[in-house]
C-alpha cells in the first residue's frame, strides 16, 4: 500500500517577499497580476482582503507594504525543502509552487515506521524557516488536501479505510483542481468534499472539467494518476542569505548545518558521497565591502550523512577568525564519489571500523591543524630508518612521486624503531640490554644499502629475546673494523 507525506507552504509568498514580516509584525501584502494573493494578519486588520486590486488596497491601507510576488525566491525555498527531503526518499513530486509530496512506503522499514519517519521529516525541516504544513495519507491528493486545510490538526491517516472519514468534512477548496467551480458549488449548498461526493456523478462531470473528477477520485483512492518525479540538480551549490548580520560562530554553524542537511539529501538521491566541502562566508557589500572568507572541510573518507560532516565542521568553526560579520553563507561541492554498497552481513565489516577511525582523524586534524597529524608513506629505501616519510594525513592517500618501495623479505618488523639505534654492551660475544643477556632466535636478515654514496651500510639483523621473553630487533655491523651490536626496534 502506498503512503504519502505532503508538504504545503501556506505563507510561502509572504516569506519570499517579506522575510521579516513575522518578527516585525508588518502590514504587508503580495501582489500577483495586480491582485492581492497573500497578506499578513496586520494587513487584513487594516482592511486589505485577498483578491483586492492594487489601487483599492493602496487606498484602503496606505500604511501597508505592497510587493510583487518573487517567483525566483519561492522556487529556491521549495528547492531547499526538496533537497532536504531527498534523504528520506527519491520519489518526490512537485504539486505546485507551494507544495510537494513524497511517496515513503519503501522507506518505512529503514526509518523505523511511519511515526518515526514523520518526526524525522519534521526535525529536518525545522531549520529552513519555511513554516511548512505536513500531512500523511495513503493517496497523494488526499495528503495534499489534509496539508492545505486549517480545520483540524489531525493530518495523519495510515489506512485507506479511514481516509474518507477524514476527507469528507474538509472544505472543497482543499483540492486546488476544484477552485474554478467553488462559487457554483457553494450556490448549490455544497461546501465540503463529503457533500460533493454525494452529488450525482454524471451531472458533475458534465458541468465541470475532467480534471475535477480525477482529483476527487485520486484523493479518495479510486484513481491513481501517474507522477512526474522531481530530478535533483546535477551539481550542488546552495547559498543562504541570513536575515541579520551574523557575528557569533554558533549562529554561522547553525546556518552551515542547514546547508549540510540539503547536501546530504542531494547525496542520498544520487547514491554519492563527498570528501571535500567548500564554504564561502560573504561579508558586507557596497562601500564597506570585504572579500569573502573561505573555509575548506576535507574528510579522510567521503561521507553522505550529517554526522559525517558536522563534528569536524564544528571544530573548524571553533578555530575560525573572521574579519567582519557574515551576511550570507554558500556551500559548494565540486567532486563526488560513488557510495559503497551497504553491507548485508551479520557482523560489522572492517570498513565500518575504518570509518570510525577516519572520523576521529578528521576531528584531530580540525582541532590541531593539518600539519600536526602525520601519516607514514613508503619511500624507496632498504634501510628501515629511511623506508618511509612522514607527510600530512590529508596527503597520505595521494599518489607518491617517489619510486615504488622495494620488495623486502617477509621478515617480522617491530612496531617501534629507535632513532638513533642504541649501541649495546657485549659480554662473551653476546649482546646485553639493561643488564640482560639477549639470545638470538631468528636471523640473520642482511640489509646492504647506500653503496653509491657516503652512507654505505652493511647490517645483519636478528630477532633477540631476553629471559622475560621480551623481543628486540638488533643488528650487527658487518665488514667494519669495530663491528658492534645495536638495538634498532622493540616488538610489542
Better pLDDT: 443 or 69:
69
At residue 392, does pLDDT exceed 60? Answer: yes
> Quick one: how far is CA 117 from the chain centroid?
17
Residue bearing the bigger pLDDT, 192 or 456: 192
Same domain as 94, residue 27: yes
Q: Verify that 162 and 248 share a domain, yes or no.
A: no
Residues 147, 121, single domain; the answer is: yes
pLDDT (0 to 100) of residue 341: 63
Position with higher pLDDT, 408 vs 33:
33
46 lies in the same domain as 63: yes
Q: What is the pLDDT of residue 156?
A: 93
Q: What is the layout of strands, in order, in the sheet containing 133-137?
A: 92-96, 99-103, 4-8, 133-137
The answer to whether residue 401 scores a pLDDT higher than 60 is no
User: Which of 159-163, 349-353, 442-446 bottoms out in mean pLDDT, i.e. has the lowest?
Assistant: 349-353
Domain check: are 214 and 246 in the same one?
no
Q: What is the CATH number of the domain that holds 308?
A: 3.30.1490.100
pLDDT computed for residue 116 by the predictor:
95
Residue 8 has pLDDT above 90, yes or no: yes
Of 383, 353, 402, give the one whose Cα is nearest residue 486.
383
* Residues 208, 292 within the same domain: no
Q: Is residue 300 one of the residues assigned to a domain?
A: yes
Mean pLDDT, to the nearest integer, of 267-272?
89
pLDDT tens track for 239-258: 988 878 888 888 899 899 99
Predicted confidence (pLDDT) per residue in 11-62, tens digit: 999 989 998 888 778 899 999 999 999 999 999 999 999 999 999 999 999 9
| 406: confidence class by pLDDT, cuts 50, 70, 90 | very low
Residues in Cβ contact with 480 at an 8 Å cutoff, skipping those fewer than 6 apart: 458
Model confidence band, residue 465 (pLDDT cutoffs 50, 70, 90):
very high
Q: What are phi and psi of 117, to 5 degrees?
A: -65, -40
Predicted TM-score (pTM) of this structure: 0.71
The answer as to whether 367 is a domain residue is: no
Cα angle 350, 354, 358 (rounded to 5 degrees) comes to: 175
> Which tens digits make up the pLDDT trace of 415-442?
888 888 999 998 888 899 998 999 999 8
* DSSP secondary structure, 114-141, as one string: HHHHHHHHHHHHGGGS---EEEEESSHH
Closest CA to 272 of 232, 240, 311, 238: 232
- For residues 325 and 412, give the distance between their C-alpha atoms in angstroms, rounded to a whole number: 57
Asked, for residue 122, whether it belongs to a domain, the answer is: yes
Q: Is residue 286 part of a domain?
A: yes
Q: What is the CA radius of gyration of the chain?
A: 34
Q: What is the pLDDT of residue 398?
A: 47
| The pLDDT value given to residue 363 | 79
Q: Does 308 have pLDDT greater than 50? A: yes
Comparing 149-153, 170-174, 226-230, 446-450, which segment has the lowest mean pLDDT? 446-450
- Helix, strand or coil for residue 62? coil
Q: State the average pLDDT over residues 365-381.
A: 78
Question: How many domains, the chain?
Answer: 4
**Residue owning grid cell 540538480:** 233
pLDDT above 90 as % of the chain: 47
Grid cell digits, residue 239: 547559498
- Grid cell, residue 442, equals 631468528
Asked if 219 and 193 touch (Cβ cutoff 8 Å), the reply is yes
Q: Are residues 446 and 379 in the same domain?
A: no
Match 526535525 to its residue by C-alpha cell. Answer: 123
Q: Can you give the CATH number for the domain in which 25 is found?
A: 3.30.70.270
Determine, yes or no, domain membership for 236.
no
Please state, as a whole number, how many other Cβ atoms lie within 10 Å of the Cβ of residue 415: 9
pLDDT tops 80 at residue 71: yes
Q: How far apart are CA 67 and CA 220, in angstroms?
A: 38
Mean pLDDT of the chain: 86
In a domain, 231, yes or no: no
DSSP letter string over 278-336?
EEEEE---GGG--PPEEEEEEEEEEE-SHHHHHHHHHHHHHT---SS-EEEEEEEE---
Residue 403, pLDDT score: 46
The answer to whether residues 158 and 182 belong to one domain is: yes
Same domain, 16 and 159: yes
- pLDDT number for residue 353: 62
Do residues 420 and 292 share a domain? Answer: no
**Inside any domain, residue 206:** yes
- 314 and 213 belong to one structural domain: no
Looking at residue 331, its pLDDT comes to 95
- The x, y and z cell numbers of residue 492, run together, are 610489542
Angstrom distance (rounded) from CA 462 to CA 304? 48
Q: Could you tell me the residue range of the domain that residue 394 belongs to?
A: 373-408
**Is 107 contained in some domain?**
yes
CB 310 within 8 A of CB 257: yes
Average pLDDT rounded to a whole number, residues 168-189: 91
- Based on the domain organization, do 86 and 129 belong to the same domain? yes
Sorting pLDDT into bands at 50, 70 and 90, what band is 400? Answer: very low
82-91, 137-146, 345-354, 466-475: least confident range: 345-354
What percent of the chain has pLDDT above 70?
A: 91
Instruction: Give the helix/strand (H/E) hosting 16.
Output: helix 12-17
Which helix (H) or strand (E) segment holds residue 23: the answer is helix 21-24
Residues in the chain: 492
Amino acid at each position: 500500500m502506498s503512503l504519502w507525506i505532503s508538504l504545503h507552504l501556506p505563507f510561502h509568498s509572504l516569506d519570499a517577499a517579506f522575510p521579516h514580516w513575522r518578527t516585525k509584525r508588518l502590514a504587508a501584502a503580495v501582489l500577483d497580476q495586480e491582485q492581492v494573493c497573500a497578506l499578513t494578519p496586520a494587513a487584513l486588520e487594516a482592511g486589505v482582503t485577498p483578491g483586492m486590486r492594487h489601487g483599492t488596497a493602496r487606498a484602503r491601507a496606505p500604511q501597508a507594504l505592497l510587493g510583487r510576488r518573487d517567483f525566483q525566491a519561492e522556487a529556491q525555498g521549495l528547492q531547499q525543502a526538496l533537497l532536504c527531503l531527498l534523504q528520506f526518499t527519491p520519489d518526490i513530486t512537485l504539486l505546485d509552487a507551494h507544495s510537494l509530496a513524497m511517496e515513503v512506503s519503501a522507506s518505512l522499514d529503514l526509518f523505523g515506521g511511519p511515526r518515526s519517519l514523520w518526526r524525522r521529516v519534521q526535525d529536518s525541516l525545522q531549520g529552513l524557516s519555511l513554516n511548512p504544513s505536513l500531512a500523511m495519507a495513503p493517496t497523494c491528493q488526499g495528503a495534499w488536501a489534509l496539508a492545505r486545510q486549517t480545520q483540524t490538526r489531525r493530518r495523519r491517516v495510515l489506512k485507506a479505510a479511514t481516509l474518507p472519514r477524514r476527507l469528507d468534512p474538509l472544505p472543497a477548496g482543499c483540492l486546488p483542481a476544484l477552485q474554478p467551480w467553488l462559487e457554483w458549488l457553494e450556490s448549490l449548498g455544497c461546501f465540503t468534499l463529503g457533500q460533493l461526493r454525494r452529488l450525482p456523478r454524471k451531472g458533475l462531470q458534465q458541468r465541470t472539467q475532467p480534471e475535477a473528477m480525477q482529483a476527487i477520485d485520486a484523493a479518495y483512492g479510486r484513481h491513481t494518476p501517474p507522477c512526474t518525479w522531481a530530478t535533483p540538480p546535477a551539481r550542488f551549490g546552495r547559498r543562504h542569505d541570513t536575515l541579520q548580520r551574523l557575528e557569533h560562530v554558533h549562529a554561522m554553524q547553525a546556518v552551515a548545518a542547514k546547508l549540510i542537511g540539503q547536501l546530504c539529501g542531494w547525496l542520498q538521491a544520487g547514491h554519492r558521497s563527498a570528501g571535500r566541502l567548500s564554504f564561502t562566508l560573504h561579508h558586507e557589500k557596497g562601500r564597506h565591502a570585504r572579500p569573502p572568507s573561505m573555509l575548506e572541510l576535507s574528510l579522510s573518507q567521503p561521507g553522505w550523512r550529517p554526522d559525517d560532516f558536522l563534528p569536524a565542521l564544528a571544530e573548524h568553526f571553533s578555530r575560525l577568525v573572521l574579519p567582519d560579520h557574515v551576511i550570507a553563507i554558500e556551500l559548494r561541492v565540486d567532486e563526488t564519489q560513488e557510495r559503497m554498497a551497504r553491507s548485508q552481513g551479520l557482523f560489522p565489516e572492517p570498513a565500518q571500523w575504518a570509518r570510525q577511525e577516519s572520523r576521529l582523524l578528521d576531528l584531530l586534524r580540525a582541532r590541531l591543524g593539518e600539519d600536526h597529524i602525520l601519516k607514514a608513506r613508503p619511500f624507496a629505501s632498504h634501510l628501515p630508518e629511511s623506508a618511509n616519510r612522514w607527510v600530512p594525513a590529508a596527503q597520505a592517500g595521494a599518489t607518491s612521486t617517489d619510486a615504488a618501495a622495494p620488495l623486502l623479505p617477509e621478515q617480522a618488523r617491530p612496531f617501534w624503531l629507535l632513532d638513533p639505534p642504541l649501541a649495546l654492551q657485549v659480554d662473551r660475544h653476546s649482546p646485553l640490554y639493561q643488564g640482560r643477556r639477549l639470545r638470538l632466535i631468528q636471523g640473520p636478515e642482511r640489509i646492504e644499502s647506500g653503496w653509491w654514496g657516503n652512507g654505505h651500510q652493511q647490517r645483519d639483523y636478528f630477532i633477540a629475546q631476553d629471559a622475560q621473553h621480551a623481543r628486540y630487533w638488533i643488528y650487527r655491523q658487518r665488514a667494519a673494523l669495530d663491528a658492534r651490536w645495536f638495538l634498532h626496534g622493540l616488538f610489542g
